[in-house]
Amino acid sequence: MNLNLTRVDYVHVGTTSRGSLRIVKGKDEKPQKKKKSLLTTFSAAEKVVVGAQNGSLLCFERKKNETAVVFKTPQGPEISVVRLGGALGAVQDRIFAVQEKRIVGYSKKGKNFLTLETNFSENIHSMFVYGVDLFLSARNVFMHLHDTVESATYRCNDTINDCLCLQVTEGGWVGRGITPVLACDDKTLKILSGSEVAFELLLGDSPNVLHLFMNDGGFNKQMVLYGTKNGRLGLAELTETNPRVLWEIPTKSSGGVSAIHCYPITSSDYPDVIIGKEDGMIEIYGVDMQNFASFKQSYECNESITGLQCGRVGSENFDEIVVCSYTGWVFALTTEPIVVKTPQPAPSEAGKNVPQPPMEIKVHQLRTEVEELEAKLKEEKAKYEKATQKSGVAMRIPRFSINDQFLLDKENACYSLSIELIIPIDIVIVQSDVLLDLMDVEKSSAVLSKTVPHDGSGNAVLALIRCGENVTRLEIRLRSSEGTYGTIRVYVCPKTQPKMCQR
């Protein structure tokens, strides 16, 4: 069955990194009347935690269709990862966040209980919490901390994209103790034993993100879902004697998988697999008795997905997919039917209908607030123009953050360059000293214009790409002649005043 998903915006927090959103479950979990699967428990008091690149950690909940802030930390070093932890077998309501090389911990009410300075030389970009154990990874270094004390360290020859730990419970990895798993850029999953690699599992593509199957490793606690940089989804069974890839399937687009979660969103007998991708696609896959996944439906939000979790935040009776985008929007794709209620006019004493006073007052307040903001914006623009026109005053052009990736697209036999800003893109200029074939991209409204370079200028390609309204993400596909090499320069101009450009 296809779900009717409706987007509901919750809050905007600024730019975010991958893995920066989590849902905190409440303590009073109750089973649903109709048992759907092993993951049918929910809480009516679920909260959302999201960390931004400005260093602020925000925890909020929904009350009467309004966003209520539970706590918010001051700005500081960039938050790259947010994870939940707690005692094994209990509710995971402890919040752990990575700020560059430091680990901070907060309770669900915002009380700081941990500040741990690590000895990493690079910023930490991946973390997994299991009881009193912390698993951290930077670009090439993995570290295991037991009760904040270093227990094991491993240096990888390739880039580490993600890490997790298999659960140590009855029926899985009994007697082996802690078993970390690393997703590496050399198309392998590395399973560690202490500071050594126990074995490697070769995959068909570079894994980008890891997630425990069914959120706990499946029936034997040894299954791991992985998403690749070229948009493939796979399931690996990491037994001690016969580790293997059970299946690996292509998804509906070539965008890298950035988030995975398991939840019975479609009310099936088994939890579904929901994935978020870097090209803005959110896809739902059903799982059968043989643990094989099949596509059900998708949703496109046109923004890179950095975090994705499922639960019941807005309503205790309807499931929803809570999503965080790179630009900082936290929104829900809810299964709750959205009915627009038209307010009924209240009858007057003379029998004539008159508008309800509360609605009139609310509309008047909103109009007044908009007018005040417009006047304030106009005043600030006038001040800025007056200051820049004075002689001897240096004008400072602020830099803006660019989220870009340059990857090889195997399916289309080309290179894919994705550019994303937190503000709308106006134009993008492509300059190259080698011949390039700029290809069309489906679902793109951008207009491409090419200019013939002058002889002796050293340019082989000069192209201008003009974007439409409110476009914050642009994908450029290009193909070069085999055996040629050179330099490609891309200049991005956002829709701002004054006009500025950044390479």
Name the one residue in this structure whose structure tokens are 């399916």.
411
Reference 161, options 134, 133, 142; nearest CA is: 142
Note the pTM of the prediction, 2 decimals: 0.84
What pLDDT is stored for residue 39 in this prediction?
A: 46
Q: What is the CA radius of gyration of the chain?
A: 25
Name the one residue in this structure whose structure tokens are 């959205």.
338
Confidence grade of residue 224 (pLDDT, cut at 50, 70, 90): very high
Reference 49, options 86, 14, 84; nearest CA is: 84
96's tokens: 């752990």
Q: Cβ contacts of residue 210 below 8 Å, gap of 6+?
A: 162, 163, 164, 181, 183, 189, 224, 225, 226, 260
Question: In Å, what is the CA distance from 476 to each residue of 200, 228, 464, 481, 495?
Answer: 35, 20, 11, 17, 19
Q: Is 366 helix (H, G, I), strand (E, B) or coil?
A: helix
389 phi-psi bin (left φ>0, alpha ψ -120 to 50, beta other): alpha
Task: Give the CATH number of domain 6-28+42-334.
Answer: 2.130.10.10
Fold match, 6-28+42-334 / 402-494 = no
Q: Are 420 and 472 in contact (CB under 8 A)?
A: yes
Average pLDDT for the chain: 86
Confidence grade of residue 251 (pLDDT, cut at 50, 70, 90): very high
Reference 274, options 301, 299, 247, 239; nearest CA is: 299
- Least trusted range by pLDDT, from 3-7, 289-293, 359-363: 359-363
Kind plus residue range of the DSSP H or E element containing 360:
helix 357-389
- Least trusted range by pLDDT, from 18-32, 56-70, 136-150, 284-298: 18-32
What pLDDT is stored for residue 171 in this prediction?
A: 45
Q: What is the distance between the alpha carbons of residues 445 and 138, in angstroms, rounded to a whole number?
A: 38
Q: What is the distance between the alpha carbons of residues 19 and 243, in angstroms, rounded to a whole number?
A: 27
Q: Are 222 and 257 in contact (CB under 8 A)?
A: no
What pLDDT is stored for residue 35 in this prediction?
A: 40
Q: What is the DSSP string of 375-424?
A: HHHHHHHHHHHHHHHSTTPPPPPPP---EEEEEEETTTTEEEEEEE-SS-
Q: Would you kindly state where each structural domain of the chain is located, as residue ranges?
A: 6-28+42-334, 402-494
Angle at alpha carbon of residue 152, lines to 151 and 154, rounded to 5° = 160
Q: How far is CA 135 from the centre of its chain?
A: 20
Cβ neighbours around 129 below 10 Å, total: 21
Q: How far is CA 127 from the centre of its chain?
A: 15
Q: Tens digit of pLDDT for each residue in 398-413?
A: 778 888 889 888 888 8
What pLDDT is stored for residue 390 in this prediction?
A: 63
Q: Tens digit of pLDDT for each residue in 343-356?
A: 555 555 555 555 55
Q: Tens digit of pLDDT for each residue in 44-80?
A: 568 999 999 999 999 999 988 889 999 999 999 999 9
Q: Tens digit of pLDDT for each residue in 74-132?
A: 999 999 999 999 998 899 999 999 999 999 999 999 999 999 999 999 999 999 999 99
- pLDDT reading at 501 higher than 50: yes
In 287-301, which positions are buried (b, 16+ CB within 10 angstroms) versus exposed (e)? beeebebeebbbbeb
Confidence grade of residue 357 (pLDDT, cut at 50, 70, 90): low
Q: Tens digit of pLDDT for each residue in 444-486?
A: 788 888 888 888 888 888 999 998 888 888 989 999 888 888 8
Identify the residue with better confidence: 270 or 234.
234
* Fold for the domain defined by 402-494: Immunoglobulin-like (2.60.40)
Confidence grade of residue 31 (pLDDT, cut at 50, 70, 90): very low
